[in-house]
Structure 1
């Protein structure tokens, strides 16, 4: 044994690492700027991941038998599906919301997934940066958001046996430390879990380790991501919307950015619960040959963290 070699990180045996179409530059079900789904599946397995998310509904095959066959023969398993909701708009959007949630939840359950990642609606368009509504919710809209999310959690659990994990996200109404805390304090911890995305939370000024310490019982799922602090400083100074910020490289591969993932993973391990930790490096659009080398390096880095 080399006495000068760094000590191996303690194994994170409660953390199940995966990746997602997002790390291959996939934001939409069908877009010529994105790699074909077959290439994503081939490369995510080649990079050393076992778990994946479905990504935008319709990007991967939506017929369960075919999707199970395509993932299974590559040694891949599905952790979760993803939906966007606008529950702050009140009961009038419920039927439309449930229609799109149900199809994603049904596919997720059919292929063995256990979670549904719920992302609030953007308040500005992620392509054009046009403001679609106010970035600030009224007290009534906060009530709609909290009660609607609880209703959604109950329905998803009862109908599909899935756990929802609400994802704080840049350019949505659940973004900063204050807004995340307000949302968590307004919802039932027995019903509504949180997907902590380390990159988005840092992008919006939050401290992931502190969030885990304060609201550990709410952490149901993790997205692993880092931001480039130099790029972020310019984004904040100019008020750049999230979509253009991604094209400027605000999200970077670890360990080149913040937050440091080692303490985040250690804090998550300390919760004593099994958690998915899915790598998501936003980089839409990107050259088709860019994602695989980054994915390999990221997976190797996470192994040095014990994951």
Structure 2
């Protein structure tokens, strides 16, 4: 998209099952689809193992040789570059011995900082600008956060942010509707415990809406802290605190929760969508937002179809010209 905003597209929706996004031909097809839809940058998502071979810098290097060679591959598919890498330090991965870590636990902080470094180094080498990180684990996995927990979480992200800044990469903490940082008050506490010079916020329009937070109002009040955006829609809010259900990643987001909701996240312009997408994009423009706006559908259906629907909406409803 050729615009005063910087548009990118998330590849995570293609990787919806272990065996479907593995070969270079699969990656090429996805990248060419994104390019045909008018997007010139993509966001990668962290994973684990050789089957998730765009999910780790080490695995990308095994398959392509180096970040520069991978960037050549991306450009051969008519995509100019990598905008960002989405990463959850609390996700156990094979490459780190399946260690379970929590940003709440100061004893895990040194390992979390080390775990961030391959992603930061990859982004710096590949020309990417943002490490987008989940700040804390899911709410159902522990007690509510107290001041000591917020202090610990802020401390580790300030450390990661310092490492990222030294490499010329930004750090954005991604709001997650299942996270222990859940309410508006929680989110503002997280921002208060982090250094604005080192740590920004990745605002996800659908995740905020699911949790009952208006993304337009939030952005207008906190534009100075928002350094990354995920733009998608939803038809539902979590009115029953289903985010606290055990294993909510499966029981709520994939199992539908108590209301048997088939899917929580939708493409832009979906009928019945609750996100004021035009209002939100207008707010970005009004503030001169300089970061990436990453469009995603987050495992919502056929990825190529959803990419085309999202592209159509941007062009025909928001008048964003194709590149």
TM-score range, shorter chain: 0.7 to 0.9
Distance 1:200 1:191 in 2: 23
CA contact (8 A) 2:136 2:179 kept: yes
Residue number in structure 2 paired with 1:56: 46
The unaligned stretches of length 5 or more in structure 2 are 55-59, 91-101, 255-261
Q: 1:210 to 1:39 in 2, by over 3 A?
A: same
2:169 corresponds, among 162, 166, 189, to 162
Count of residue correspondences: 280
TM-score, normalised by the number of residues in structure 2: 0.78
Shift of 1:236: 5.0
1:253 corresponds, among 267, 272, 279, to 267
1:151 corresponds, among 144, 159, 166, to 159
CA contact (8 A) 2:200 2:227 kept: yes
Distance 2:37 2:251 in 1: 28
Residue number in structure 2 paired with 1:21: 11
The unaligned stretches of length 5 or more in structure 1 are 1-10, 125-130
Matched position secondary structure for 1:226: coil
Matched position secondary structure for 1:269: helix
1:273 corresponds, among 278, 289, 296, to 289
Where does structure 1 differ by over 6 angstroms across 4 or more consecutive aligned residues?
none
Shift of 1:42: 2.9
Q: 1:12 to 1:175 in 2, by over 3 A?
A: farther
1:132 corresponds, among 119, 127, 141, to 141
Shift of 1:79: 0.6
Please give the per-residue CA displacement for 1:168-212, whole angstroms capped at 9, x wherever unaligned: 102212232121111112222222211100011111111111111
Residue number in structure 2 paired with 1:179: 186
RMSD over aligned Cα, in angstroms? Answer: 2.5
1:99 corresponds, among 114, 122, 130, to 114
CA contact (8 A) 1:54 1:78 kept: yes
1:32 aligns with 2:33: no
Q: 1:228 to 1:25 in 2, by over 3 A?
A: farther
Shift of 1:25: 4.4
CA contact (8 A) 2:28 2:77 kept: no
Higher-RCO chain (CA-CA 8 Å, sequence separation at least 6): 1
1:296 corresponds, among 269, 283, 308, to 308
Matched position secondary structure for 2:138: coil
Distance 2:137 2:304 in 1: 29
Residue number in structure 1 paired with 2:97: none
TM-score, normalised by the number of residues in structure 1: 0.82
Matched position secondary structure for 1:88: coil
1:41 aligns with 2:41: no
Q: 1:237 to 1:243 in 2, by over 3 A?
A: closer
Residue number in structure 2 paired with 1:8: none
Distance 1:236 1:49 in 2: 36
CA contact (8 A) 2:174 2:202 kept: yes
CA contact (8 A) 2:242 2:252 kept: no
Please give the per-residue CA displacement for 1:143-188, whole angstroms capped at 9, x wherever unaligned: 1011221121112111x11011111102212232121111112222
Residue number in structure 1 paired with 2:319: 306
Shift of 1:108: 1.2
